[in-house]
């Protein structure tokens, strides 16, 4: 595992319930984090150099649990670390979201996807939450009829949670590709507000998918729905799927559905308990892919690139006031354009 911060503990905790692999080595430049993480999870192989760890340990799976941007220097590190792992021949690499923050790194990673033999997956694990899997089964088996509309949102910024939300949408429509988006954005990045995840404060978009489904997206505190009493921004992820015969609605800490056979049902969720199981399911799916080339992980790199491209398309639509056909070639300097055009006064 590369990176021993708080999010890495969620990755590591899953291995308590996994018998197909074990967490064998960790790497971090922060010696205190490295020591405490190693002690807490019983890992004695500790490194401060990624190449050294990969050369000595030769892992089957590498978890890259870092932000895409170093807050102190504004250096983009997602692509260089992915390329480093690919060059070392790591079979599977897990990267945290967001996959990319602007056009330059998206194009670099898209190029890597075409050339590498390494299997990359993005850690958007919400699809694997037990209650979400149950609601997905309802939709797949036709209990809400034909999907007519999807509404999805989060109160945190799109650069932080957009990957989660869009992967949820994709999972309900069999990864149908987005073909068009009209978006609006507002507010520029404050270096103290979300270090490591640059992007607009608020974003909304209306997306048309190739299967004909329309999807409404909203991010940020101005339009992202409150779905609980949580005063923070992270406890409000949600996806609502409306069909001809009913609906399902997964939320961070609750759920609801309406079907012709079961009527209206709802209940609370314990996100922490569900997320541990989700991370286990997510990680087991990695080993499934290692064992069988045809058993591709749901959040594989090329699928995640499509969802990341949609986010950049929403940004560009907000800047240009144009409908953007997808996929599109994101221009360089997109974050600079956002800063010039979207200041909040």
Q: Is the pLDDT of residue 182 over 70?
A: yes
CA 213 – CA 223 distance, rounded (Å): 21
Q: Is the pLDDT of residue 345 over 50?
A: no
Tens-digit pLDDT profile for residues 35-49: 999 999 999 999 999
**Mean pLDDT, residues 159-182:** 97
Place of tokens 């034909």: 146
Q: Which CATH class is domain 127-269+307-325?
A: alpha beta
Q: Indicate the SS3 state at residue 82.
A: helix
Confidence class of residue 197 from pLDDT cuts 50, 70 and 90?
confident
Q: Which CATH class is domain 6-125?
A: alpha beta
- For the chain, residues classed under CATH 3.40.50.720 are 6-125
- Of the listed ranges 15-24, 193-202, 318-327, the one predicted with least confidence: 193-202
**Mean pLDDT, residues 177-200:** 80
Higher pLDDT: 240 or 342? It is 240
C-alpha dist (Å) from residue 45 to 11, 18, 25: 17, 20, 5
Q: Is the dihedral of CA 227, 229, 234, 235 positive or negative?
A: negative
Q: Is the pLDDT of residue 71 over 90?
A: no
Tens-digit pLDDT profile for residues 79-112: 999 999 999 999 999 999 999 999 999 999 999 9
CA 92 – CA 14 distance, rounded (Å): 17
Q: Is the pLDDT of residue 149 over 80?
A: yes
Confidence class of residue 194 from pLDDT cuts 50, 70 and 90?
low
Closest C-alpha to 311, from 120, 146, 162: 162
Confidence class of residue 195 from pLDDT cuts 50, 70 and 90?
low
Q: What value, to the nearest 5°, has the Cα angle with vertex 33 and ends 30 and 35? A: 105
Q: Name every residue whose Cβ is closer than 8 Å to that of residue 232 and which is 6 or more positions away in sequence.
A: none
Q: Is the pLDDT of residue 192 over 60?
A: no
**What pLDDT is attached to residue 190?**
52
Q: Name every residue whose Cβ is closer than 8 Å to that of residue 150 and which is 6 or more positions away in sequence.
A: 169, 172, 173, 213, 214, 215, 216, 239, 240, 241, 242
- For the chain, residues classed under CATH 3.30.360.10 are 127-269+307-325
CA 243 – CA 229 distance, rounded (Å): 28
Contact (CB, 8 A) for 209 and 179 = yes
Q: Six-digit token pair at 8?
A: 């890495």
Q: Is the pLDDT of residue 191 over 70?
A: no
């Amino acid at each position: 595992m590369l990176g021993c911060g708080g999010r890495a503990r969620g990755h590591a905790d899953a291995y308590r319930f996994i018998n197909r692999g074990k967490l064998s080595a960790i790497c971090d430049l922060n010696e205190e984090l490295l020591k405490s993480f190693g002690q807490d999870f019983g890992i004695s192989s500790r490194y401060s150099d990624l190449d050294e760890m990969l050369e000595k340990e030769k892992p089957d799976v590498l978890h890259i649990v870092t932000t895409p941007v170093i807050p102190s220097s504004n250096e983009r590190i997602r692509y260089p670390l992915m390329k480093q792992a690919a060059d070392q021949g790591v079979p599977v690499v897990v990267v945290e979201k967001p996959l990319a923050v602007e056009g330059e790194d998206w194009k670099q990673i898209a190029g890597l996807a075409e050339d590498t033999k390494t299997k990359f997956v993005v850690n958007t694990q919400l699809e694997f939450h037990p209650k979400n899997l149950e609601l997905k089964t309802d939709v797949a088996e036709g209990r809400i009829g034909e999907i007519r509309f999807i509404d999805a949102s989060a109160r945190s910024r799109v650069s932080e949670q957009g990957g989660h939300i869009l992967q949820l949408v994709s999972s309900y429509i069999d990864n149908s590709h987005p073909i068009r988006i009209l978006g609006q954005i507002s507010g520029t990045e404050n270096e103290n507000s979300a270090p490591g995840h640059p992007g607009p404060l608020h974003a909304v978009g209306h997306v048309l998918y190739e299967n004909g489904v329309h999807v409404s997206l909203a991010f940020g505190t101005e339009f992202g729905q409150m779905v609980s009493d949580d005063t923070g921004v992270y406890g409000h992820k949600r996806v609502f799927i409306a069909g001809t015969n009913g609906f399902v609605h997964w939320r961070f800490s609750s759920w609801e559905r309406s079907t012709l056979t079961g009527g209206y049902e709802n209940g609370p969720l314990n996100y922490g308990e569900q997320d541990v199981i989700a991370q286990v399911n997510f990680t087991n799916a990695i080993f499934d892919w290692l064992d069988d080339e045809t058993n591709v992980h749901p959040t594989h790199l090329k699928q995640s690139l499509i969802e990341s491209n949609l986010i950049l398309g929403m940004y560009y639509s907000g800047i240009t006031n144009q409908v953007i056909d997808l996929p599109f070639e994101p221009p360089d300097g997109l974050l600079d354009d956002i800063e010039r055009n979207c200041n909040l006064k």
